[in-house]
Chain A
Amino acid sequence: MNREKEVLKIEHISKGFDQLNVLDDISLTVHEGEIIVIVGPSGCGKSTLLRCLNGLEAVDDGHVYLGEETVNPSVKNITRIRERIGMVFQSYDLFPHKTILENVTLAPMKVQKRKRAEVNEEAKKLLERVGLSAKMSQYPRQLSGGQKQRAAIVRALIMHPEVLLFDEVTAALDPEMVREVLDVMLDLARQNRTMLIVTHEMAFARAIADRVIFLDGGHIVEDSDPGEFFTLPKTDRARKFLNTFTFDTVNKEI
Chain B
Amino acid sequence: MGFEVLFKGTNFIRLLEGLGVALRISMISVGISIVLGMILGTLMSLKNPVITVLSRIYLEIVHIMPQMVLLFIVFFGFSKVMGINIPAEASAIIVFSFWGTAEMGDLVRGCLISIPMIQYESSYALGMRRSKTYLYVIIPQIIRRLIPLSINLITRMIKTTSLIMMIGIVEVLKAGQQIIEANRRTSPHVAFGVFATVFLLYFLVCWPISQLSKYLEKRWS
**A155 in contact with B121 given A97-B141, A97-B144, A106-B136 (CB within 8 Å):** no
C-alpha gap A159/B140 in the complex (Å): 23
Evaluate contact between B137 and A95: CB separation under 8 angstroms.
Answer: yes
| B52 close to A (CB within 8 Å) | no
Evaluate contact between A107 and B127: CB separation under 8 angstroms.
Answer: yes
**A87 in contact with B125 given A95-B137, A97-B140, A97-B220 (CB within 8 Å):** yes
Evaluate contact between B127 and A93: CB separation under 8 angstroms.
Answer: no
Interface members, chain B 112-148 (any A CB < 8 Å): 116, 118-119, 121-129, 132, 136-137, 140-141, 144
| A89 close to B (CB within 8 Å) | yes
- B interface residues, tally (CB under 8 Å): 19
Interface of A is mostly: mixed
Evaluate contact between A93 and B119: CB separation under 8 angstroms.
Answer: yes
Contacts of A112 in B (CB 8 A): 127
- Compute the total of residue contacts between A and B using a CB distance below 8 Å: 58
- A interface residues, tally (CB under 8 Å): 24
C-alpha gap A178/B60 in the complex (Å): 50
Q: Interface on A for B, CB 8 Å cutoff?
A: 54, 56, 79-80, 82-83, 85-87, 89, 91, 93, 95-97, 106-107, 110-112, 152, 155-156, 159
Given contact pairs A111-B132, A152-B122, enumerate 15 new A-B contacts (beta carbons under 8 Å).
A54-B125, A79-B129, A86-B125, A89-B122, A93-B121, A95-B122, A95-B137, A96-B141, A107-B126, A107-B127, A107-B128, A110-B132, A155-B126, A159-B126, A159-B127
